Structure 1
Amino acid sequence: MTIDKITKYIESWAPKGIAWDRDNVGLQVGFSKALARNILLCLDVNEFVVEDAIKKKCNLIISHHPLLFNSIRKISSGDKTSDILIKLIKNDITVYSAHTNLDFAKDGVSFQLAKKLGLKSIRFLKNISENLTKLVVFVPAGFTEKVAEAIHKNGGGIIGEYSNCSFRILGKGTFRGSDNSNPAIGKKGNLEFADEVRLEVLVNTFDLPAVIAAMKQAHPYEEVAYDIYPLKNENVNYGMGAIGNLEIELTPKQFLDYVSKKLGVKNFRYSQGTNIKIKTVAVCGGSGSDLLSTAIQNSADAFITSDVKYHTFLDAENRILLIDAGHYETEIFVLDEIERRLKNFITESKIEIFKFKGTTNPVCFYNN
């Protein structure tokens, strides 16, 4: 199985098109057409990860954080990133990163954090918006299913847990072909009336080029009449953070102990909330403190994230129990989901999948 087939599978779950526009997701370095041998999963790529990949004969590293985030002007021995790149290239190792696209995907980083905490009825804390379009195409009645199928196969018409979603209205289309036309219905030069279906489908903006190409290929008309409407709707398929409910209510002290045990962290920062019971919990793996007000608006009793600033704790105090559980500590569980999905996908091959057993967490705690 080639590496690009594996990465395309990951993108079917976490499309690059939903990533933060200043992020650098996807192929970082390497050979996408190479046959995959073994795969190493990690949050960050450092020299120890690369050595582990070499030891385990992995020629594909899949990381959450991009190895290359800012542009580099030169590759020079002695520079930390350069040394990693040189070693990767010398050992024919490809690095692929799924960062904010994995943050914003269902069952991505925040969903895995929520599941680790045992939350139920998990949903996005805040859906992303303005990346949806409505595609309207006018199809002769006998070709509606063929055109619809082409659109759906390329990602159109997915709304939450439902696929093949569309709306159809039967009407009458008119056209007159010029002397240079080749009409599929009627004759050139004649005013023709055709029974047509107005087919409406929601399409992710990043899927639109492929959807339109497939639609035109399936459509019988020489000139396809279609409209594209940009939408401001929230996209129910993608979002930031997650929110759910504990099976039983906990006191704040019980909840703090519960978080420590479930996430395996002994040290974390928090601010006092006001509720005497914790039931509804919001989370955002990684740096999610910008979602504090959204968590409060959604009546969350507690909000778990990381990289929280002092003044954000002030804003949360006596409003919601805010926990900074650590960046690494709130993201690491997504590797389990990547591993699970890849093992289900790569069934006909002897490719082994490993998780980096060490830690790439640069943050240390001092205990006197």
Structure 2
Amino acid sequence: MKIQDVIQYLESLAPLSYAEDFDNVGLLVGNPDTPLRGTLITLDTLEEVVEEAIAKDCNLIVSFHPIIFSGLKRLTGQSYVERAVIKAIEHHIAIYAIHTALDNSFWGVNARICDRLGLHKREILLPQAHTIEQLVTYVPKEGAEALRQHLFEAGAGHIGNYSECSFNIEGIGTYKGNAESHPTIGVPEVFHREAETRISVIFPKHLRRGILQALLAHHPYEEVAYEIYTLENTHQHIGLGMIGYLEKPMEETTFLKYVKERMQTSCIRHSALRGKPVEKVAVLGGSGADAIGACLKAGCDAYLTADVKYHEFFKAEGRLLLADIGHYESEQFTKLLLWEQLTEKFTTFAFYLANTNTNPINYL
């Protein structure tokens, strides 16, 4: 088993194509073809975490946050970032960061917060734009059914709770191959008309490569005519944040105490109480003040996130219980989430949860 095997599995769960543009995700240090000895899972890759990986004989660190966020111009050990990277390179340890790819996954960071709070009937708070693409192709009528099935098997045609969705139009295709052509139907240098089916299917954009491979491998024509469009439609399971419902409405103070216990935080900063029960709750792990407007628009009773600034609390407008539970605290269960997925998939390899507490914030 190689490091690349772990990477491929993680990217099947949280494709990097859905990471935010500002982010730096993927393999940051190391060679993916290196044989895997063990994996350490952490929120942050600090020098102490690399030392823990050395002690546990792990040559892969799966980190939520990327240690290299902006470009490094030198490696002299003058900063905590440089020291961590240097130590990892010296000991041939690979570093992989998943960050906002996991934030935008329906099973990711925010789903785990919902698990902790017992929220049900979940939906994405901020669906990501331009995540759905449409393939249109033209195939002889007798080959349409087989080609559709191959496209479905590659992941095309899923819409919400429905699969094998397509739209088909019958028509006449024309072509004339030159002397070097080898047409499947017809002969070179002779104009040909063929009864064809126009097949249209949609797919999430991270599947584009596999969809095209299926199309080109199973389409009967020598030259395959196709078009791909990016749609404005949003994907129901891709995006930041999550909205869910409590099993029963709670009084606001009771709710905040419940959050404090379930999220294991010693401090919650919150806006003024509204004097109304809490039932519909939005969550967004990490810095999520930009989504306050979306929570108001969705009619949420409460919103849990982190890194909310002084003036941003005013945006609650007395209509939303806005609670800052802490950046680390909102993401701390992500390590366990990754560990559970990896140990279930790779049952014979060692995956360790990092013991190093990487929270840089302390409370008196």
TM range (shorter): over 0.9
Q: Is the 8 A contact 2:116 2:263 kept in 1?
A: yes
Note the C-alpha offset of 1:202. Answer: 1.2
1:361: which partner in 2? 359
Per the alignment, in what secondary structure is the counterpart of residue 237 of structure 1? Answer: coil
**Residues 154, 5 of structure 1: CA spacing in aligned structure 2 closer, same or farther, 3 A cutoff?**
farther
1:131 aligns with 2:102: no
Per the alignment, in what secondary structure is the counterpart of residue 107 of structure 2? Answer: coil
C-alpha distance after superposition, 1:69-106 (max 9, x if no partner):
11001111343222212211122211100011110011
Paired AA for residue 72 in structure 1? L
Paired AA for residue 244 in structure 2? G
Paired AA for residue 177 in structure 1? G
1:217: which partner in 2? 217
Per the alignment, in what secondary structure is the counterpart of residue 256 of structure 2? Answer: helix
Note the C-alpha offset of 1:4. Answer: 0.7
Q: Please, which moves more after superposition, 137-146 or 82-91?
A: 137-146
- Normalising by structure 1, report the TM-score: 0.94
Paired AA for residue 182 in structure 1? H
- Normalising by structure 2, report the TM-score: 0.95
**Unaligned runs of at least 5 residues, structure 2:** none
Q: Please, which moves more after superposition, 67-76 or 198-207?
A: 198-207
2:14: which partner in 1? 14
Cα RMSD after superposing both structures: 1.8
1:38 aligns with 2:38: yes
Note the C-alpha offset of 1:7. Answer: 0.6
- Equivalent residues in 2 for 1:173-184, closer than 5 Å: 173-184=173-184
Q: Is the 8 A contact 1:116 1:333 kept in 2?
A: no
1:98 aligns with 2:102: no
1:172 aligns with 2:172: yes
Note the C-alpha offset of 1:280. Answer: 0.6
1:28: which partner in 2? 28
Q: For 1:117 and 1:255, how far apart are their aligned partners in 2?
A: 10
1:109: which partner in 2? 109
Q: Is the 8 A contact 2:123 2:237 kept in 1?
A: no
Paired AA for residue 362 in structure 1? P
Q: For 1:264 and 1:106, how far apart are their aligned partners in 2?
A: 23
Number of matched pairs: 364
Per the alignment, in what secondary structure is the counterpart of residue 24 of structure 1? Answer: coil
Note the C-alpha offset of 1:133. Answer: 1.9
Q: Is the 8 A contact 1:275 1:320 kept in 2?
A: no
Q: For 2:355 and 2:144, how far apart are their aligned partners in 1?
A: 53
Paired AA for residue 252 in structure 1? E
1:81: which partner in 2? 81
Q: For 1:343 and 1:142, how far apart are their aligned partners in 2?
A: 46
Q: For 2:212 and 2:18, how far apart are their aligned partners in 1?
A: 19
Note the C-alpha offset of 1:166. Answer: 2.6
Q: For 2:231 and 2:10, how far apart are their aligned partners in 1?
A: 26
Paired AA for residue 13 in structure 2? W
Note the C-alpha offset of 1:282. Answer: 0.4
2:147: which partner in 1? 147
Paired AA for residue 98 in structure 2? A
C-alpha distance after superposition, 1:295-337 (max 9, x if no partner):
1111110000000011110111411000000111111212222
Per the alignment, in what secondary structure is the counterpart of residue 227 of structure 1? Answer: strand
Note the C-alpha offset of 1:149. Answer: 4.3
Q: Please, which moves more after superposition, 320-329 or 86-95?
A: 86-95
Q: For 1:121 and 1:235, how far apart are their aligned partners in 2?
A: 17
Paired AA for residue 131 in structure 1? T
**Residues 275, 239 of structure 1: CA spacing in aligned structure 2 closer, same or farther, 3 A cutoff?**
farther
Per the alignment, in what secondary structure is the counterpart of residue 261 of structure 1? Answer: helix
**Residues 10, 159 of structure 1: CA spacing in aligned structure 2 closer, same or farther, 3 A cutoff?**
farther
Per the alignment, in what secondary structure is the counterpart of residue 129 of structure 1? Answer: coil
Note the C-alpha offset of 1:241. Answer: 0.3
Paired AA for residue 364 in structure 1? N
1:302: which partner in 2? 302
Q: Please, which moves more after superposition, 60-69 or 233-242?
A: 233-242
Percentage identity across paired residues of the two chains: 37
2:291: which partner in 1? 291
Q: For 1:358 and 1:215, how far apart are their aligned partners in 2?
A: 48
C-alpha distance after superposition, 1:171-224 (max 9, x if no partner):
332222222321101222333232322111113334334432431222121111
Q: For 1:335 and 1:160, how far apart are their aligned partners in 2?
A: 29
**Residues 316, 81 of structure 1: CA spacing in aligned structure 2 closer, same or farther, 3 A cutoff?**
same
Paired AA for residue 30 in structure 2? G
Q: For 2:69 and 2:305, how far apart are their aligned partners in 1?
A: 22
2:244: which partner in 1? 244
1:2 aligns with 2:2: yes
C-alpha distance after superposition, 1:15-52 (max 9, x if no partner):
11011112110001012111212111111011121111
Q: Is the 8 A contact 1:135 1:200 kept in 2?
A: yes
**Residues 152, 94 of structure 1: CA spacing in aligned structure 2 closer, same or farther, 3 A cutoff?**
farther
Paired AA for residue 354 in structure 2? F
Per the alignment, in what secondary structure is the counterpart of residue 237 of structure 2? Answer: strand
1:187 aligns with 2:187: yes
Note the C-alpha offset of 1:339. Answer: 1.3
Q: Please, which moves more after superposition, 277-286 or 182-191?
A: 182-191
